[in-house]
Each structure stands twice: as C-alpha cells, then as structure tokens.
Amino acid sequence: MSAARPAPTTTAWQWARLNLFGSIADSVLTVVAAVLFAWFVWNAFDWAILRADWFGETKEACKSGGACWAMITARWQQVVAGYYPEAHLWRVALAMVCLAIAVLPVIKRDMPAWAALLAPAGVIASIAVLGGANILPSVPTDYWGGIMLNVLVGLTGAIFALPIGILLAFGRRSDLPIIKGFSIGFIEIVRGVPLITLLFMSSVVLPLFLPTGMNLDKLMRALAVVTLFSSAYMAEAVRGGLAAVPKGQREASHSLGLGLLQTTGLVVLPQAIRISIPAIVNTFIGLFKDTSLLYVIAILEVTGVIRQALSDFAWLGLENEGYVFVAFVFWVACFSMSRWSASLEQQSGKTVKRVEEPA
C-alpha cells in the first residue's frame, strides 16, 4: 500500500508560464491585453479621481479637464432627498432608519418569527414619517425624491411583492380553476407588458377601480404598480422553488398529522424559498433598477434629479458625469444585493444539501 502524500503544488510563476506565456503568440496577446487594460484603468482613474473637480457653483469651476463632480456636490441635497424641505431633512434620515429596520429580519439570521412583521411595519413607518401622517407637518409626495425615493420604492416593492408573489405561486398550482385562472392570467399579463407602459397606464387605469372622488397620490399609484409588477416575477421565482420540493416532503408531513397549512408553512415553503433565493434576489435587483423608470411619470428619483440638473444652464453638457454617477449609485446597491445573495446561498448550502431524490 502506498502512503498518502500531499497533492503537487503549482507556484504563481509556473502557472503564468503555462497559462499566459505558453507560446510566442500567447505572450504577445498577454502583453497587449495587459497594456490596454492598464491604459483604460489609468485613464478612468485619472478622469474620475485625479483630475476631477469636486466643488463649485457652475461648470465654470471645472477647469482641470477631469470629471466635474461639482454638479453632484452642489446639488447633493436633491440627489439624496429631492425637494424635501431643508428644515425637515431629519425626517428623511429617520425614514431611512425605519427602512433599515425593515430589512433587518432578512439580513440578520436567527431572528424570532414575529420579526418578519418588522418589514411591512418599517416601510409603513417610513412613509408615515416622510408624509407627516397628520402628526408632523405634511410634506406632499411631489417634494420627495432622490436616492431616498429609489430606496423607498425598491424596498416597498420588494417587501410587499414577496408575499403577493408567494400567494400567486400557490394560486398557479391550485386545483381550483378560478384561483388558478386568475393567477395565471395576472402573471402572464403583467409579465407580457413593459413596466413603463404600466406606469403610464397607472395614472389612467388605476383610478377607474377607485371610488369616484378618491384621488390616489401619484407616488402611491406608482408604488402599487411596481409592487404588483414585481410580484408576478416573484411568483415565477417561487413557483420554481415549490416545484423543486420533492413530493415525499408533503407526504411525510401529512403522515405525521400536519394539516395543509402547517405542511405548507413549516415544511414546503421554507425549502422552496431557500431554493429560490437566487431567483428572488435577481428579481429584487431588477426591481431596484426599474425604479429609475419612475422619472418618466415625473417622479424625481435620482435619474430624474440628475436629468433636471443636466438641463440647468449652469451644468449643460455634463452628461458623462451625470450618468456615470447614476450608474455608480445603482451598481453599488445591486452589487451589495448580489453579494448578500451569495452569502445566503453559501450559508444554506452548508446545511441543506438535498436529500437524494427517488430514482
């Protein structure tokens, strides 16, 4: 019997010789690619950081030839909160704290079951703080805006779309023809229509379903549309997870005497949600990026604020800076969500390897 020995190791130099400089052609390609890459990174860094101008009242302040971030810094208040009154900006901060509490049950593990209620409570509290709720001075939603609005709409959509999506996913698998038909109809219609048309329609169609005289706020209408829109996608994400839970799980649960609701809530759904985490987070990311569409119905989220700044004579011609900044804001948010999803998967992968399926 031969003794076990450690696997042979490769040094970085050996790896590079093999993979980057294997032949003359490889070496040339490696060098050219490295030079191009370095040139691009250096130019971007030089433009965005080294030669950038950070402060000023108009673009006249930007003389160095690099990026002119002065447009962003001069309007930081609108970028963050739209036209929310300056004296009440603390309410924006408080609303953000409420939203942070709302996402707590998703981010922190081992929370008790009631903590799930923090999510809708936090969202409603943040809207109440921003709007005034008859306690604080009222601030109409026309004044809300900026990154705050993207976060608010994105989180509200996500938090309410998940339960609606779960219901739709069960509806689609239901044996009752009316419920099944309604769920399929809703999902397929919503998935077949672009969000932008739904947003336009929301100002015409939604009021038809409301009692006469009742005037729903434009932002609230948009919130409803965004929520329902992503719930259709959420339903499909969760349906994939439900289908992946083996039939034997339901049978085992029934044979132990657990009823339909208990089986669904304690056995099937926890497994289905874990399986669908990547698809659910994917929907979250899409939803957050879609909040930039709100500007087409004149809601001043961050893209709208930047477009407004760009049409200001003082900042004409700074499209590069404006859109690079918007892209950066969205990228930071979406990349964090993607990392968070990866960590969730890794964590559940440790404990929930699938028990083998019947052959």
Smallest distance, another protein to C-beta of residue 172, A: 23
Nearer to another protein, 255 or 311 (CB): 255
Cβ pair 249, 262 in contact under 8 A: no
Interaction between residue 248 and another protein (CB under 8 A) = yes
Q: Per DSSP, what are the bridge partners of residue 82? A: 144
Which residue carries 């407004």 as its tokens?
308
d(CA 16, CA 288): 40
Beta bridge partners of 95: none
The answer to the question of residue 258 lying near another protein (CB under 8 A) is yes
* The one among 266, 298, 316, 342 contacting another protein by CB under 8 A: 266
Choice from 230, 253, 283, 341 touching another protein (CB under 8 A): 253
Could you tell me the smallest distance in angstroms from the CB atom of residue 175 to another protein? Answer: 14
From 115-123, 174-182, 229-237, 250-258, span contacting another protein (CB under 8 A) = 250-258
Residue 274 interacting with another protein (CB under 8 A): yes
Size of the site for another protein (CB under 8 A): 25
Q: Which of 18, 191, 270, 328 binds another protein (CB under 8 A)?
A: 270
**What whole-number distance in Å separates Cα of residue 61 and Cα of residue 176?**
67
On whether the CB atoms of residues 229 and 323 are closer than 8 A, the answer is: no
Shortest spacing between CB 43 and another protein, in angstroms: 50
Instruction: Give helix 269-290 / helix 319-351 axis angle, nearest 10°.
Output: 180
For residue 333, CA distances in Å to 101, 118, 155, 344 come to 17, 21, 12, 17
Segment near another protein (CB under 8 A); pick from 148-156, 218-226, 281-289, 346-354: 346-354
Q: How far apart are CA 102 and CA 130, in angstroms?
A: 15
Question: Is 60 near another protein (CB under 8 A)?
Answer: no
C-alpha–C-alpha distance, residues 329 and 285, integer Å: 13
- Contact between 244 and another protein (CB under 8 A)? no
Q: Is 356 in the site for another protein (CB under 8 A)?
A: yes
For another protein, the closer CB: 129 or 267: 267
Q: Where are the beta strands (DSSP E) in the chain?
A: none
Amino acid of residue 193: V
Is residue 110 close enough to count as binding another protein by CB under 8 A? no
Residue 345 interacts with another protein (CB under 8 A)? no
Least gap, CB of 181 to another protein (angstroms)? 24
Label residue 223 exposed, middle or buried (CB < 10 Å: 0-12, 13-18, 19+). buried
Among 230, 264, 271, 303, which residue interacts with another protein (rule: CB under 8 A)? Answer: 271
109 near another protein, judged by CB under 8 A: no
Rounded to an integer, what distance in angstroms lies between the CA atom of residue 294 and that of residue 217? 14
Q: Which residues lie near another protein (CB under 8 A)?
A: 246, 248-249, 251-258, 262, 266-267, 270-271, 274, 351-358
